[in-house]
Amino acid sequence: MKAVQPIRDIEVVEAIQEYLYNTNLRNCVLFSMGVFSGLRVSDLLNLQVASVRNKTHITLIEEKTKKTKKTNKEKTFIIHPDIKPLIDLYIQDMDDDEYLFASRQRKTKTGVKGKPIHRTTAYKMLNSTAQVFRLKEIGCHTMRKTWGYHLYIQDPENLALLMEMFNHSKQSITLRYLGLTQDAMDRAILRLSYSKKRIK
């Protein structure tokens, strides 16, 4: 099985945001929060509206994965100002106790506030979007990897922070997780610029 890859082209990330904004606002917010926060899909899906309304940060207990024996611990993540207006627009008619990414189907059929969408629903959304943009090797970890990839590309000194975020013990593990192959490293060097216009 091939490893899931980050979206390396910033213009493609922006194009996906625009595409999802015009087709499904919920999916746009999910994708945008994923690539701007580095949160796992499972953590994003468990968020309630109160977690983001009038907030500058999200505080949560990260879900422990099967691959680690470390105990769950509380972490705080800033809500990036670039997506705050989008989130505010999305939640303006929602109650604080609703799940941020609730299943509309259940609410429509029963009138009961929906449970969060399933991880497989998020996966299907990402893959159908990937097909539109002819992207391969895309999955639920793509958003998290995209976030980490561009943090590293824009400033390699972020590597220590990324190791902490991903609970990795070695730099090599983080670099491999982010898909930073030799070609990607070469591109990072070629993109080096000291012009503020290129550093966004």
Q: What is the DSSP letter of 98?
A: S
Active site residue 168: yes
Catalytic residue among 99, 149, 152, 177: 177
Active site residue 136: no
From the centroid of its chain, how far is CA 130?
15
Name 116's bridge partners: 102
Catalytic residue among 144, 149, 150, 152: 144
Catalytic residue among 55, 57, 64, 187: 64
Active site residue 145: no
> How many angstroms separate the Cα of 56 from the Cα of each of 44, 50, 65, 89?
16, 12, 27, 15
Helix, coil or strand: residue 30: helix
Active site residue 118: no
Catalytic residue among 141, 145, 150, 152: 141
Catalytic residue among 40, 90, 99, 152: 40
Active site residue 144: yes
Catalytic residue among 75, 80, 113, 168: 168
Helix, coil or strand: residue 40: coil
Q: Give dist(CA 84, CA 61) in Å, integer.
A: 22
Which amino acid belongs to residue 157? E
Q: What is the dihedral of CA 161, 40, 46, 93, to 10 degrees?
A: 90
Catalytic residues: 40, 64, 141, 144, 168, 177
